[in-house]
Structure formats: C-alpha cells, structure tokens
Amino acid sequence: MQNLFKRIKATINGTIIHFIVSGIILVMAAILIVWTDFFLRLGIGLLTIIIAYVFFYLAYKTWWLKREIEKHLKL
C-alpha cells in the first residue's frame, strides 16, 4: 500500500511540473501575442496545441492511476 502512495505522490509531482511548464509556455506565448498579428495567430495556434496536449496528458494520467489502483486492489 505504501508503494501505491509513493506512485501517486510521484504522479502528482509530475502533474505539478507539467502545469508549471505549461504556464511558462503560455506566458511566453502571451508576450509574443502582444507584438504582431503574425504572433497573434502563432500564439492562438500554440495555445490550442497546448490545451490539446493537456487533455491528452490528463487522460493518460487518469488511465494510469486507475490501472495502478486496480493492480494494488486486485480488481
């Protein structure tokens, strides 16, 4: 059971790091958006890609956590 909590803690830490990196990318995109129309289109495209990536990442981590819980509880 302790191994399960270590894995959950590692997953949460990975998620926190992922959110920080996504936030940094969004800040850089916001700075680029302010400069020109080209960067505005580029920024909106980048934002769309980042949001899609976040959804895929959250889906994968949710599936992984479900699998780990099932493995430890032997469901």
Q: What is the pLDDT of residues 23-56, one digit of tens each?
A: 888 777 777 777 777 777 877 888 888 888 888 8
Q: At what angle do helices 2-35 and 37-73 cross, to 10 degrees?
A: 170
Checking phi first, is residue 74 left (phi over 0); if not, alpha (psi -120 to 50) or beta? Answer: left
* Residues 2-30 pLDDT 10s: 777 788 888 888 888 888 888 888 777 77
d(CA 75, CA 60): 20
Beta-strand runs (E) in the chain: none
Domain positions in the chain: 2-73
Is the entire prediction scored with pTM above 0.75?
A: no
Q: What are phi and psi of 74, to 5 degrees?
A: 55, 55
* pLDDT tier for residue 68 given thresholds of 50, 70 and 90: confident
